[in-house]
Structure formats: C-alpha cells, structure tokens
C-alpha cells in the first residue's frame, strides 16, 4: 500500500449522534416530535409521533463494524448473501464514533491528517418532518449547538464538523448560517432534495434562497450535499403499491437498487443549482457531493450538454463548464475514478472513506489501491490538495 508523504485529507468521516445531540438544545415545545422510546425492551425513535426503523439502533450503543459492507458494495458476493448477512456481528460503540478528541486519535492511527466530520442520524429529520419546517430547524440547530459544545467546527485545525441547515425558512437559515460562520465553520451541509415547505417542494436554486447563497459566496466556505433520505423512495412506492413502508437504506432489493435512490437526488439537486443560476449569480459558491458515488455523473453531464444545445439562450455559459468549475465529487471506492477525472478534471475529485460506517473503508488508506493507475500528481490532488484548498477557501 502507498504511504503518502503529504497530509491526507478525508472528505467523508462520520460521527454517530448520542440522544443528547438532538435533545440538549431542543426547545421543550418540540420535544414530543423527536423521542427515544422503549418498544419490547429496545430503544426506538419516534419522529412526529411515528416509530421509525430508518436506523435500527438509534442510540448507537452497538453498530455495524466499520467497512463490513465493503465486499457487498464491490460486487464481491458470489454466495448471494443479503446485506444484513454480510454485516456480521455488531461491535460496541467507541468514543471515536462521537468524540472529536477520540476521533483524532484514530485519525493519527490511520495516518489521516484532516477530515470532515458528518452527522449520521440527522439524515432522518427532513423527510419525516417536511410538514413541520420549524421542527426541522430546531432539531438541526440543536445538533449544531451540541457539535459546537463538544467539538467546535475546526477542532485542532484538523477535524471539521459539517453543520446541517434546512432552507425551508430562508431567514432562519441565514440566521443559523451567521451563527455558524461566527463559530468558525468552514463548511455547511444541505440535503440533496427539493426544499420542503407547506406548499410543496421547490428548488434551492430559486432566487428566494439568494440571501443564503450570498452569505456562502461572501464567506467563501463550501457546501456539502451528502447522501440522505431525500424522499426519492416515493418512486419505489409508485412501482410497488406502497412497497415496504418506511425507507430503510440498508434493506436492499434488486428493483429498488436500480431505481438509484442515491444518484437521482444529487443529479437533480446539482442540475437545479445550475439551471436556476446559482453559480452565475454567486461565482464563489462551491458544492461537494459526498457519498453519492459517481454513477450519475456522466448521464447528468450528457443531459446538460444536450439541453444547452437545444436551449443555449437559457444559460449564461455552457452548463457543463459551470459544473466543472463549481462542483466537486467524491467517488465510491468501487467507482472508476479515472473516468470521473476525465469528466470533470482531477482538481474536482475528492477522497472520502466514510469511516466508521459499514459501507465505508475499514482502513481508509486502502483507497490508494483503487487509484493506483493515477499519476503521483493526480493522486496527491485527490487525497490531499483538493479538500485542503476547499477548507482554505482557495478557488
């Protein structure tokens, strides 16, 4: 395995939120909307009064071992085991799964210099509370405040938590962004999905949200769109007469897998930002796609190119060029990274291990083996320089 002689930057590391992350700063009037309850001797999560199995063990007392799903995602499953069967025995939670100091110690062991630190259970909130945007805002704000308490947003200049913002109420979103900027945040996250609202969804690229993008543009921080429950399981429901009920990301079937619940939301979200002119109005805005893979990338660029040639006056510049200037992509380890570089350039490709999630890499630097065909200069770009420059506000 290659050992880097430069600092490695990991764009996709995670923490598992303890219950207090949601509850410590949650106003009392909203506490009934997000409750940990006992069901047959097990702790479950009730969101808006509805029990959820989105995450089977929402307290994370035990979790799937880091990297335990790797062979399944690489397509190395000749026995045809289910994802659950591939998982193996759960492991007890570790301090590194939620503590910034402990996480840094593991990063030292893994020879990772710096990384983003992204919440896990928070991805349950927005889809299930779409009809209650004030509750969404309160819950995400609570997690952000807990993160500020426990870790800060640039911990020892190496660990950079990604606070989440919901845009349903743009004034509240801007107030939260102002707080986060003052607290030292280098990055913020928004869900790759239509912005929820009482009258339905709408594009985050609409001018309604320009106050938010103007602050991002001025601060020169970047925005992460990490895979989430983006609501696209509705497509599965259309085809299966209600299907399996609540969306559960780790319960797979062939038809649900080919519907691409992960690639479609990020492609649509980035397409909306481009077609609705965010990058034209705010040239400093940069967006990083994390844990969405890259299978959606070539089809999206093809559609943008074809649409431009059909309607060139609808764009200020070629939309593919806009994408290449403003969007960064972290491919999966099973993706052809060389192809991603061909499509958008090596300066826009990020390394993300997804540690400690089971679908990630148990040993993050194993990713070097997946990019052995790259030159030394390209490898350093992917493994270090690109994220380092994003965090420093370099364009």
Indicate if the pLDDT at residue 148 is higher than 60. yes
Question: How confident is residue 395, by pLDDT bands cut at 50, 70 and 90?
Answer: low
Q: Please compute the mean of the pLDDT values over residues 202-219 and round it to a whole number.
A: 97
Residue 81 has a pLDDT of: 86
Q: How many of the other CB atoms lie within 10 Å of CB of 47?
A: 20
Residue 286 has a pLDDT of: 98
Residue 1 has a pLDDT of: 47
Question: How confident is residue 249, by pLDDT bands cut at 50, 70 and 90?
Answer: confident
pTM of the prediction?
0.96
Q: Which two tokens stand for residue 278?
A: 């965010």
Max avg pLDDT among 53-57, 236-240, 388-392: 388-392
- Determine phi and psi for 253, rounding to 5 degrees: -140, 160
Question: How confident is residue 200, by pLDDT bands cut at 50, 70 and 90?
Answer: confident
Q: How many of the other CB atoms lie within 10 Å of CB of 363?
A: 15
């Amino acid at each position: 395995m290659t050992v880097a002689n430069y600092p490695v930057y990991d764009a996709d590391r995670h923490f598992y939120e303890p219950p207090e992350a949601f509850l410590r700063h949650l106003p009392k009037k909203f506490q009934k909307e997000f409750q940990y309850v006992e069901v047959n001797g097990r702790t479950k999560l009730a969101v808006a009064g509805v029990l959820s199995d989105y995450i089977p063990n929402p307290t994370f007392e035990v979790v799937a071992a880091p990297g335990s799903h790797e062979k399944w995602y690489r397509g190395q499953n000749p026995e045809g085991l289910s994802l659950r069967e591939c998982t193996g025995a759960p492991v007890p939670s570790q301090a590194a799964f939620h503590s910034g100091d402990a996480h840094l110690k593991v990063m030292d062991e893994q020879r990772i210099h710096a990384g983003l630190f992204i919440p896990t259970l928070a991805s349950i909130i927005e889809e299930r509370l779409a009809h209650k945007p004030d509750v969404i805002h309160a819950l995400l704000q609570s997690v952000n405040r807990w993160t500020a308490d426990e870790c800060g947003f640039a911990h020892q200049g190496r660990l950079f938590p990604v606070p989440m913002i919901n845009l349903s109420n743009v004034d509240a979103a801007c107030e939260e962004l102002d707080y986060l900027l003052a607290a030292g945040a280098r990055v913020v996250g928004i869900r790759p999905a239509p912005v929820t609202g009482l009258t339905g969804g709408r594009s985050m690229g609409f001018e309604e949200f320009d106050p938010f993008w103007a602050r991002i543009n001025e601060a020169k921080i970047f925005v992460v769109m990490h895979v989430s429950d983006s609501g696209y399981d509705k497509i599965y429901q259309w085809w299966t007469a209600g299907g399996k009920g609540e969306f559960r990301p780790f319960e797979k079937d062939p038809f649900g897998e080919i519907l691409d619940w992960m690639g479609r939301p990020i492609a649509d979200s980035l397409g909306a930002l481009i077609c609705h002119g965010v990058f034209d109005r705010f040239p400093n805005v940069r967006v990083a796609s994390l844990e969405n893979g890259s299978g959606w990338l070539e089809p999206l660029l093809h559609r943008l190119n074809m649409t431009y040639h059909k309607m060139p006056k609808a764009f200020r510049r070629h939309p593919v060029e806009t994408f290449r200037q403003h969007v960064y992509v972290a491919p999966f380890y099973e993706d052809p990274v060389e192809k991603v570089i061909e499509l958008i350039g090596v300066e826009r490709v990020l390394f993300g291990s997804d540690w400690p999630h089971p679908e990630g890499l148990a040993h993050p630097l194993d990713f070097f083996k997946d990019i052995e065909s790259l030159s030394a200069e390209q490898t350093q770009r992917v493994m270090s320089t690109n994220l380092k420059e994003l965090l420093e506000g370099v364009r």
